[in-house]
Structure 1
Amino acid sequence: MQILIASELAPYRIGSGQYIYLMAIASQEAITQKALSEKLLIDKTTTAKAITKLEAEGYVRREIDPADNRYQLLYLTQSGREVVPKVQEALRRVKNKTRKGINDEEYELLLDLLRTVLRNLSDQGEARE
């Protein structure tokens, strides 16, 4: 899937590992980088690299948080707002390819199971098995 996504997003200079940040910021602008990392269950270093790339491409901007100047809030730029529907369409095309032969109920079960696996892998409080 990552190869398909990378291919679909290449015209927009968005890597397959960066679109999730773009989409998360689109759904919740004025989010801190730390909150974004926590929301996506991705480490801070990886998040910082992805945001830097999206910022360099002109899709994301940072502003000092007026409530606490130690933090920066993330927003989409105009270019970011314009590219979001294109990214959504590209992701829809990839999703449709992955769903062939799978009904809605099965697909939702698959997603639920994958979310559980992700939570299990990212749970810092659990002892290692």
Structure 2
Amino acid sequence: MEEDSKPYKWQSREQSLGYMVNWAARLFAREMDDALRPFGLMSGQLPVFFALADGKPQSQRDLVRLAAVEQSTMAKTLSRMERDGLIERMPDPSDRRSALISLSSSAADRLPDISAAVAAINARSHARLSEEESGLLLRLLHQVVNGLANDRS
């Protein structure tokens, strides 16, 4: 067999950063969904919760930017959250065509429990790492995210 006709040798899954990060993300999402189900929340809604947790209403455009998702994804997420009584929309006084979104009072009341559930899963994910390893992993993931995000800009 000639050198050029050899089949491509795939990188092992365990040596692929993309595969391992994706696998970890799927495991996180599953654990988060299980922990958040009693609150009527799903892991995909957490970015909206985090963005609105300070009580400051946000526009849908701002939530798209903060959550780093597509406009259509945010629209569907917000529709579900509104249907489930997790968010409220109010007219934007500075732009009549836009609405400001905030957590409903019942959702805001659940923030401490939701935060505790998220913190517990994050703690479990770090349990086998030293404090230094955890910090290094987070710094490296920030670099990966920033590199990929900047490449798209």
TM-score (norm 2): 0.75
Q: Residue by residue, what CA displacement relative to the aligned partner does 1:57-113 show, whole Å, maximum 9, x if unpaired? A: 111101110011121111111111111111101101101110112122321222222
Q: Quick check: which has more Rg, 1 or 2?
A: 2
Q: 1:30 to 1:119 in 2, by over 3 A?
A: same
Give the number of the structure whose residues are more often helix, by fraction: 2
Q: 1:120 to 1:27 in 2, by over 3 A?
A: farther
> Which consecutive residues of structure 1, in runs of 5 or more, have no partner in the other structure?
none
- Greater RCO structure (CA 8 Å; 6+ sep): 1
TM-score (norm 1): 0.87
> Which consecutive residues of structure 2, in runs of 5 or more, have no partner in the other structure?
1-27
Give SS of 1:70's match.
strand
Structure 2 Cα separation of the partners of residues 105 and 27 of structure 1: 29
Q: Which residue of 1 aligns with 2:61?
A: 34
What is the root-mean-square deviation of aligned Cα atoms in Å?
Answer: 1.5
Larger mean CA deviation between 39-48 and 7-16 belongs to 39-48
